[in-house]
Structures are given as C-alpha cells and as structure tokens.
Chains A and B, each alone.
Chain A
Amino acid sequence: MSTEQEENAPRTGVGSYIYGIVPVGTRIPDDLAPLPQEGDPGIGLVVAGDLAAVVSDISTDRPLGTRKDLMAHEQVLNAIAQDTPVLPMRFGAVVTDDDAVADELLTPHQDYFVRALEQMKGLTEFLLRGDYDQTAVLTRIVEDNPEIQRLREQIAGLDEDASYYDRIKLGEAISNSMDRLRQQDADATLDPLERFAEATVVKEPGGENGAVHVAFLVRTDHRSDFERAVDELGDAWSGRVNLRLIGPTAAFDFLPEYEAPDQDEG
C-alpha cells in the first residue's frame, strides 16, 4: 500500500503534494478537503517503515497559493493535529509521485522524523492573538499622558495644514506609547500562561491594533488548565484587548531542528 497509482505509468503534469508526516497507523479524518485539483482525488497516506506522509495529487502546471490552497493546507494539518502528532511541511511541497515521497522523503530521513514525532507526542500548539480595542487603547494613552493631551488640545480646531507637524508629533508619541504598552502586555500574557506551556514563542503582533501574538506548546493533559487561564486573561482584558485562541494546530513553531547527516547519498 505504498502507493495508490499504477506503477510504470508516468503521470504528466501531476505531482504529489505533501501536507505533513505522521506515525504509521495514524487514522486521519475521512472528510479532509485537499488542495483543489481536477478529478477530486482526495487525500491519501504514503507509508514507509514507521512513517506515513499525508498527500494528494496536484497539477504541476498551475501556481499554488490561492486562498483555497492555503486554507486547505492548514485545515488538513489542523484536523490531524486534533488527536495526533504531525510534522507539518511548509506550504508548497511537491514531488513527482508517491514513490518519491516514500523513497526520497520518508525512508532516508526516517530517524529524524521518528524522533521528531516522538518529541511531539502529547504536545500541541496554540496561538494566542490579541488586538487592542482602538478607541479604548487610544483613550487610555491620552488619559495617561499629559504631553499627548497638551498636543491634542493644541491641535484642536486648527486647520489640518497648520497643525501638520504637531499632528506628526502627536502620532509619534501615541505610537511610542503603544509600543511600550505592547511590551507590558507581552509580559502580562506570558506571566499567567507560561506555566502551562512546555515552550513559548513571542511573535510580532502585526497590524495597527495588534497587541499580543504568542505561540504556546501545550501538553494535552494541561490543555484545559491552559484554556482556563486564557479565559481569565480574556476577562481581565475585556474591552481593552480582544483575545483569540487558535488551535490546536500542528506544532509549526516548535519543530525540532534538523541536522543534515554528513554522508551525502548521490
């Protein structure tokens, strides 16, 4: 059952798209939707030794990266990550056929993949994102900062051209205040949540209103404690920061380093 295709039939224009790698014997959900492809080939497993790769057929002559493509990659992996460790591939991994998946990806790198899956056992990733309520955060910044208040009053009622430089000054002061706030809030996020995570990665919040963006590697038996702590933080920040908890996702942010072996098979 190493491949579903007939042997010896080279398929022109069709390759194998790889989503990720799971331990052999893993049952994947039936209703997974693959990257869009004519003929709707469905998602399959290519097995080699202790490993299985999650794959689907894909045209090699169209560029990848539509919204549907991207969401399909993520959703297939997330659905699997609900109950089993999975090593996610970066988007866009295509090889010629399923044989190549077994012979060139799984078999030669078996040791690393098996070890990585072992390390990921019982662990799952969550992403916590928070956005400031714009009005609330601006209000607080203005309230807390006499200099900003002064600038505001100075500008009030003035013609836009006349107040041009003061407006820039005001905007800069607000932006600096927001950066300081982000720093504080990153700490305030880690403080109550870190203890429930095996590892954390603090990421760029992004966007005008981005407040926090942290990835957590959580043990599945700590999951409910973790989620409760997130809820408490959400309540404490209600109206100021809108929190979203995404996951469980495949552990994209916590993959063990791959060290290429010395010998080079040519």
Chain B
Amino acid sequence: MNRHSGPPTLHTVQLQRPDDFDGWRLIARQHLAAGTLPESLVWEAGEATADLFSEPLSPAEPTVPPNPSRPAAPLPVVPRAFLELARCVACHRAPDRYALLYRVLWRSCHGESGLLDMPSDPDMHRLHILGKCVARERHKMHAFVRFRQTPSVEPEHFSAWFEPEHHTLRLSSGFFVRRFANMHWSIVTPEESAHWNGQTLQFGPGGHRSNNTAPEMMEELWKTYFANIFNPARLKLDAMRSEMPVKYWKNLPEAPLIAELVHNAGARSQQMVEALASDPPRYARRATAPPAQAQAQAQAQAQAQAQAQAQGQGQGHTGNKDG
C-alpha cells in the first residue's frame, strides 16, 4: 500500500527471521546511506504485527528510495563491541529492538559520533540491558541444555529439549558444534531446531516438549552426584535460585531433588553437629599415637585394610549409607 499524503512515508522492512542480525545490518546500511529517518522505518522480524500504513520492502530486493531532502550521511565506522552487542540484541524478544538499533546508528552519523561508546546514553543503556539479557540467556543455554542419548541408534545420537526465553538457538549453537563436533546431536526448541551430524549444522522446525527423548540411566547417576555434592550445612537457596532460576527447572533432571534436599538439610547438619565422636576404626587407632614408629605401622596397616576393603567393595561398607 502506498500513501501519497505527506511525509514521512513509512517503510516496512521485513526481516527473514526473528534473529536476523545480518539482514538488519544490510538494510540498515542502505537506509543510512539514503538518509532514511528512524521514524519512517517499521522493522518486522516475524513476530510483530504489521503497521497498516507502511510500504512493504522485501530484503531480497532492498531498493531504498533516496531521500532528496536529506543528503546521504557517511557510513559510520562501527566499533566491534557494538556489532557484538547488536548481534545479541537482535535475538531479544523486544519488538522495538531493530528500530532502536537503527536509531542509535542514525544518531551516531548525525552529530553524535561517540554515542556507540557511551553507556550512559538512555538508548545505549537500553541496548546494553537487552544485550545483557540475551547474553545471559545464551550462557544459560550453554549451561542447562541436557542431552539424552537416543536409544538404539548408530552412530550415537543425543538430543535435548530447551525452551529459551529469547531467540537464542542459532546464537548458541556454535558453542555446541565446537564442543561436540564429533557427536551427532539435535537441540529442539518450540520455535526452531538445530541438528548436527558431525559435518553440517542444519536448522529445522520447532518441536514439542512431549516428543523429548525418555529419561535414561545416566540421569540417575547425575542425580546421585547432585545430591551428594550438596553440603546440607551450607544451605543458600537464594544464591541457587538467582543463578539457576526456577523457569529452567522443568527441563533439568536434577531439579526434582531440590525440594527433598532442602527439606532435610537442617536436620542433617544438626545431626552432624550434635553427633558424638565415634571410636576410630581399629586399623586407624595407632595412626593417632604420636611415636613415629607406631604411626608408620598404623599407616601400613591402614593401607592393607584399605586395599582389602577396596577389593571387597559393594558389600558392607559401601552399603553403610543405608544407615
């Protein structure tokens, strides 16, 4: 639709995907060169509702109408740190993220040359906040994706279900490629999925939580570790929740243990504090005696005992935890 009545004409820029940083960058350059005002651009990236009065512009044919009233500004030299920031911001869910990015670029070529380095400016401040959210989400994705082995598939294949808060699947997938380059894996999110076959990374449609691979034996071992590395005498729930927000718990196999661990922590540490010292085991008694010889003897004995026990594991002493 074209609106001839009075400037500014609104142009809609339709980006390919919600996290289409490269597309944004290409088109933003052309509009900057053409002197397009930030107010006359509507950026759409797949999730925003269309502005009725704007003129659609496909990224495939980025013809930017020249604006005679405004001479083209020289393209800005953009600091590398800003590009990194912008790449993250592009993955945020905020609908105005692309408009905001364009506005600061525009401002920085129209008299505010140091702007992109100035965190105290309100626009830049907001970009930093958005960027930080996304960087954090990417980091949490690196941390909390949990692979499960797909049963009876050769070669080994692993898959994970994850629900990121922002559009961070592509942003974070490079990490998984570098780390698990020789493994075949898939990460499925509600929006999109990523698949690595040892050679290439491909993206496909999103999925459903209910289609996630069933829990496997290794998770029981992981839960065992989680339960036992926890020190009940140091309960600090807030610290835990701020680093591992509850929203992630539903996809973490260890999370269902938390309630019970917390519930028992007080009693367990109280019990440790109050327990009377027990007699040292027989093999150790002489280890605590001062004369050097007795000590050496006790050590030798303890070691013999240790070995004997190590060989006979699985019975008596390892079962002691049953209480």
Q: Please indicate whether A and B come from the same complex rather than being unrelated chains.
A: no
Spell out A's residues near B (CB within 8 Å): none
Spell out B's residues near A (CB within 8 Å): none
